[in-house]
Amino acid sequence: MKKFLLFVVLSSICLGANAQSFTVQTKAGEEVTFKCDDIERIVFHQDVEEEVVAPRIGDIYYDDGTWSTKLKTNAAPIGVVFRVGCATDNNDREAYYYQKDGKTKFSEFHGYVVALHDATEKDGSNEGVWWSAFDANFEGTGGSTNTTDFLGYTNTQSIVETALRDKGVLSDATNNYPAAYYATTDYESVCPAPATSSGWFLPSAGQLKYIYDRVYFAEDGSDRACIEETFKTLGDMAAPMYCRDASYWTSTEKIDSYGTSSWAYYFCFDSSMNKPGFIADYRKNNAMRIRSVLAF
């Protein structure tokens, strides 16, 4: 919050019996003169900076880069905090991240946010998209193949770099990398990420598993519903992840015994299944949903 300070020129302030007027001069050099007869009272205010509270799991994340436990009215909600701090125990590092401009380092790493809607949700339908075209000789994009890490950001960078190298552009074409395209470019077009964040990316298998196992239904065994309850609080502004037919592509590729990668990992949030909440691999030319995440 900005503070506005006024310098009061005491040429004739109303402290003396003979005072007729007083002048207020701002730092910008503007002056306003008031007649004492016209003033009933003078009240001085001291602006207080809004206290910044550390983010918590389940907090609502807004388009201006702020967060709050309760719904605010002066910013639009775009996500929910699902982990606080950098997941160094899951092989992630603050040094990997840049702000959305791709050049500026984070001044402070607060945590991770999951989007409120699927990137593949269009006009009330959710058809899903391919990870990429099936290629039995493809050796992968160079990202992580570990299903427990938090390397969705660097995995996505590897996919984008491969698309630019091989196709000249990342696009929604089935022979390109549509999963990464929808997670980044397409979702950014409908829900821009704050400039101070990493921008949207395709989460790793470990990140989606963490959401399901640790914070979607309860926070670290505390029996307090977190992300699911936040989605409910937001109502129509959010779409639940745990629902029928909800299987999501991750940015984690599978490398087979021949050193090739025609399959990738997905995560099952499908509420219609007997035992959802698992990571599995499948051919890349299979349609699944996309849910973007970002770091802030």
Between 287 and 20, name the one with better pLDDT.
Answer: 287
At 155 the pLDDT is 98
DSSP state of 93: -
At 258 the pLDDT is 94
Q: What is the mean pLDDT of residues 221-231?
A: 80
Report field, pTM of the whole predicted structure over 0.85? no
Helix (H, G, I), strand (E, B) or coil at 211: helix
Indicate whether 204 pLDDT > 60: yes
Please state the domain extents for the chain: 1-51, 60-295
Helix (H, G, I), strand (E, B) or coil at 153: helix
What span, in angstroms and rounded, lies between the C-alpha atoms of 287 and 296?
Answer: 29
Which amino acid appears at position 157 of this protein? Q
CB of 161 within 8 A of CB of 167?
no
φ, ψ dihedrals at 83, nearest 5°: -155, 140
Q: Which token pair is 150?
A: 């938090």
What span, in angstroms and rounded, lies between the C-alpha atoms of 208 and 220?
Answer: 15
pLDDT digit string (tens) for 65-115? 999 999 999 999 999 999 999 999 999 999 999 999 999 999 999 999 999
At 4 the pLDDT is 37
Query: For all residues of the chain together, what is the average pLDDT?
Result: 90
